[in-house]
Amino acid sequence: MPPIQLKQSPASTQTLTGSSQDARMLVRETMRISANLASSRSANELVAESAVQLGGRDESSLQLGGRESANDVRVLCCEELDGRRWRYVAEPDGSGRFVKGSMHAIALQTPSNPVDELVSFVRSYVVPEGFPDSVAPAYVPYMTWRALKHFFGGAMGVFTTRSLLHSVGVSGNGATSAAVAVNWVLKDGAGRVGKMLFARQGKKFDYDLKQLRFTGDLLMELGAGIELATTAVPHLFLPFACVANVAKNVAAVASTSTRAPIYKAFARGENIGDVTAKGECVGNIADLCGTGLSIMMSKRNPSLVVTFALLSCGYVFSSYQEVKSVVLQTLNKARFTVAVETFLKTGHVPSLQEGNSKETLFDPPWSKGRPVVLGSRFRDAFQDPASYLAIQPLFEKERYLVTYNPSKGNVYALLKDQANSDDILKAAFHAHVLLHLIHSSSKNGSWKKNDDSIRTNVDGPLVTNSPLSTLDFEAHIAETCRIVSTSYGLFKRKAAEQGWKMSESLLNPGRARLT
């Protein structure tokens, strides 16, 4: 958290002015250290500010430390996300419960500078996460010269495109040739913009590379189909060509970004360069052969639509089988789910081949249908204060909390600020145990009030139509705690025996932390 400037009262300023130079230096140093270690205001001032935001209550009506009494506002917890802090509060109704809808968040910092927001937005597109610590020192000069090279290359592209179009007889008129060249460059420029925007996905290419690789191939075929459609509507060449080029450039980003990890999975020893070179050579040979076949087919004037449909089906099927054949040792979200579910059902962790074969490819990273959310926000995980207070004692010794929100049908794992790598992995395992228990209980009818109160969708998250009782909620969470305490270590050992490598970064946890 950046240092916060302290506000001095007039009396304090007058005292400092009248003190000696050494005293002023000592006070300034003390203030600087205090600003780095704590908030610039005392807890009482923060409580008073919170009380004002909650409706002008006196600061004594907002109590810290989890105490509560009638008509008091109770502090539930604090949360930090990307250097910003929130305090979650709720109002008791006097009977030991809380007023419905009274839980909300209070920001504990002033709004960010718009310039800082803009800089942060730009950084998310042009530098890797964790920059500069996440890259080598040579990264900055390399990217500087690379950007300059592409700048000159793009400038030359306008003239070379115009020359090529003119040479193939587009028009002898200079104005017409220039207009066609501009349209062509705009088409390529739209593709580059799409490539740049999609590159923001960044880390997703590491932990969901199979899904993104297959999605990229589908986009490549979509772009080719749109290009084909330009022959039917030549007057819409520019918009159609721009959309097609965006799709194909996004596909190119997905292909190039996932190529190295896939080749690395096949390399044994320090031969990643050789594996990459040979793989690219095979691809180029196949591409040349396909080009030759298409030239021979075009001489027979076949149906353009039928030919394209057959070739597209072959391309998509080959792409699917290509990605499915890759065997990765790392556990991302999809493979982690397969491993944990198999372990809970059979007591065994699947092998590398089995785990990869069961991984679904039709679940891109931006999909919202995933029933387990790791590192979620407090406001997403809990719909009322009672559910949070009910399970909080169960996780006092853990650096995470796991809960189920029936209104959203998802299991949420919240991480505390001290959570390390193993804590995040344990939280993910615990969340899947809870999801498994909920599905099992709903099928047996032990966690519902009547036959219609809960509906289970086999292909999606649990959908609940009525709230769960607090007693059932606590009992199921407590049961998962007992299961995890005895089975998490066994799961890790069996996963290691099968050759799996676990890393919390590949599970893509959210950045929110409870403080």
pLDDT at 462: 34
Q: Under the phi-then-psi rule, with left for phi > 0, alpha for psi from -120 to 50, and beta for the rest, what region is 27? A: alpha
pLDDT at 18: 43
pLDDT at 488: 95
pLDDT at 495: 95
pLDDT at 17: 42
pLDDT at 161: 54
On the CB side of 261, how many CA atoms lie within 13 Å of its CA? 21
Domains of the chain: 74-107 (no CATH), 134-325 (1.20.1250), 333-447+465-498 (no CATH)
CA 386 to the chain's CA centroid:
29
Q: Which of 90, 68, 47, 50 is nearest to 379 (CA)?
A: 90
pLDDT at 464: 36
pLDDT at 248: 84
Cα 200 from Cα 141, distance rounded (Å): 21
Q: Which residue has the tokens 């610039």?
A: 40
pLDDT tens string, the chain, 515 residues long: the values are: 444 343 444 444 443 344 445 545 554 555 555 545 444 444 444 444 444 344 434 333 333 334 444 347 888 889 888 778 888 888 888 777 888 888 888 888 776 677 777 777 666 666 666 677 766 676 677 667 767 765 666 565 555 555 555 554 555 555 555 566 666 666 666 666 766 666 666 566 677 888 888 888 898 889 888 888 877 887 887 788 888 888 888 888 888 888 888 888 888 777 778 788 888 878 888 888 888 888 888 778 788 788 888 888 898 899 888 888 888 899 988 899 999 999 999 999 999 999 999 988 877 655 665 789 999 999 999 888 888 998 999 999 999 999 998 888 899 999 998 899 999 999 999 999 999 988 887 766 555 433 333 333 333 333 333 344 555 778 889 999 999 999 999 999 999 999 999 988 888 888 899 98
pLDDT at 27: 47
Cα 252 from Cα 220, distance rounded (Å): 8
Q: How large is the angle between the packed helices 174-198 and 139-167, nearest 10 degrees?
A: 150
Q: How large is the angle between the packed helices 470-497 and 333-346, nearest 10 degrees?
A: 100
pLDDT at 44: 42
